[in-house]
Amino acid sequence: MEFNHKSVLLEECITGLNIKPDGIYVDGTMGGAGHSKKIVEQLSDKGRLIGIDRDTDALQTAKERLKYYKNVTYVHGNHDDIKEILENLKIDKVDGILLDLGVSSYQIDEKERGFSYMQDGALDMRMDQTQILTAEEVVNTYSEEALSKIIYEYGEERFSRQIAKKICEERKKKQIHTTQELAEIIKKAVPFYDKNAGHPAKRTFQAIRIEVNDEIRPLKDTVKHAIECLKPQGRLCIITFHSLEDRAVKMAYGEALRKM
């Protein structure tokens, strides 16, 4: 399947980065290279782009789409490790960093990746296919208490206890292997739902995905480290998609401002 992903807030991010032709920039969530392409187009031969992504499919697509640009360095890694990545590349400080958080449309559309409750696929949800923890392991091995906590905190789901209880009841009968199996279990656990508010499994799937990929816990430190990697007058642009991400980013920004 072709890696298609529409870059969100593309022009706003490029404006926010205030790109210098000879600067060094980091796209910490390279994806299909939508933002990266816009950045590298504004760089001279003296400029440099560091593209980081956990998803090897994304990196392969980015390499193909940016193959005519010789000033791009590709890193299979996690933006949470940005300080270590730059240290390994012998880069002290950069002029700008972009983080486009959350899951890509390609990952959702690729049913084999198991992100979507709308398509039947294996319970996977890994952004990085080399990591061990999968959604199937979370669903089938976490305690009822742990599942309830994750679904409530990461999914902001008010029926978290009922859903966790139902998952544990069903997995005693047989292991839960697919996204459709899980979606149907969640449907049975929720006593009622507003059809205008979306699928009843939406929040639980978000919660499990966040747990599998450890998206929220390190985010505050990630933003802090990104700020520390900037040159004076450097720019950091972050795109968030839900309140948990937004809260962590704002807290990190607030702490950074208080130290200025």
Kindly tell me if the per-residue pLDDT of 8 is higher than 80. no
Where along the chain do its domains lie?
A: 10-102+216-259, 115-213
Burial degree of 128 (CB within 10 A; 0-12, 13-18, 19+): middle
Q: How far is CA 75 from CA 55, 109, 155, 197, in A?
A: 10, 24, 30, 38
Across 27-44, average pLDDT: 95
pLDDT in tens, 189-248: 997 765 556 789 999 999 999 999 999 999 999 999 999 999 999 999 999 988 999 999
pLDDT in tens, 79-121: 999 999 999 999 999 999 999 997 877 777 788 888 999 889 9
Across 40-46, average pLDDT: 97
Residue 148: per-residue pLDDT: 98
Across 159-184, average pLDDT: 97
The CATH architecture assigned to 10-102+216-259 reads 3-Layer(aba) Sandwich (3.40)
Domain spanning 115-213, CATH class: mainly alpha
Counting residues of the chain whose pLDDT is more than 90, the rounded percentage is 81
Kindly tell me if the per-residue pLDDT of 1 is higher than 50. no
CA distance 14 to 86: 21
Residue 235: per-residue pLDDT: 97
Residue 107: per-residue pLDDT: 76
